[in-house]
Amino acid sequence: MAKPRANAARTPTTTATFVADPHVGYRLRVLLYDFSHVSENPLSQTRLSKTTDPLYISGPYFTESEATFIKEAIVGTCTENDTNLARGRGSSAHLSDAQLTVQDMIQAQLANFFDKRRASGDSRPCGPHDLAPIYEEVFAINRAELEEEGFLRRLRKHGLRTSEEVLSEKTLDGQPSEGKGIQRKKKGRKANKSR
């Protein structure tokens, strides 16, 4: 994903741009996977517990600049009801009927939740129950994508690391890392050859 210039006026992008991005799109899917598997997967629980944003759009899933761009992205599909809800909550006035930001859309969908929880002092929504269905809709990610073998294999092998991060890691001898799974196989082969 291209890094923004500090003083450049930013043009809002769309959610489809982030979902299609090989790095940010993957991390969005990991976030959704973690929402769905937090109770049974300790790694999901660990990653979610490290987020600092009430909407979970922060590290360890995203850098600060990625999180800002995601929240400011225009949602690809907004219904008239979503737009009316967001306007009623005081969202960005410059947006047309078909242009809600991710943050506006999420807050509009959670309006009643925030009103009820504000009084109790606990205003962070529950990811699995409150946010997962909204994120699936906002980012147009099908839950079935999170169960595809290719995605699950990559998640087991690399976690949140992107393929570029994995390739840039070096082993102690200065050679590029091949991933833990491959190294285990090689050790197993060496052990068999020496017998």
Please say if the pLDDT value at position 143 is more than 60. Answer: yes
Exposure class string for 1-30: b at 16+ Cβ within 10 A, else e: eeeeeeeeeeeeeebbbbbebebbbbbbbb
Q: What is the pLDDT of residues 54-65, one digit of tens each?
A: 889 999 999 999
- Give the model's pLDDT for residue 14: 87
Average of per-residue pLDDT across 20-44: 93
- The predicted pLDDT at position 166 comes to 60
Q: Strand, coil or helix: what is 64?
A: helix
Q: What is the pLDDT of residue 19?
A: 87
Asked if residue 167 has pLDDT above 50, the reply is yes
Residue where the block lists tokens 């979503």: 82
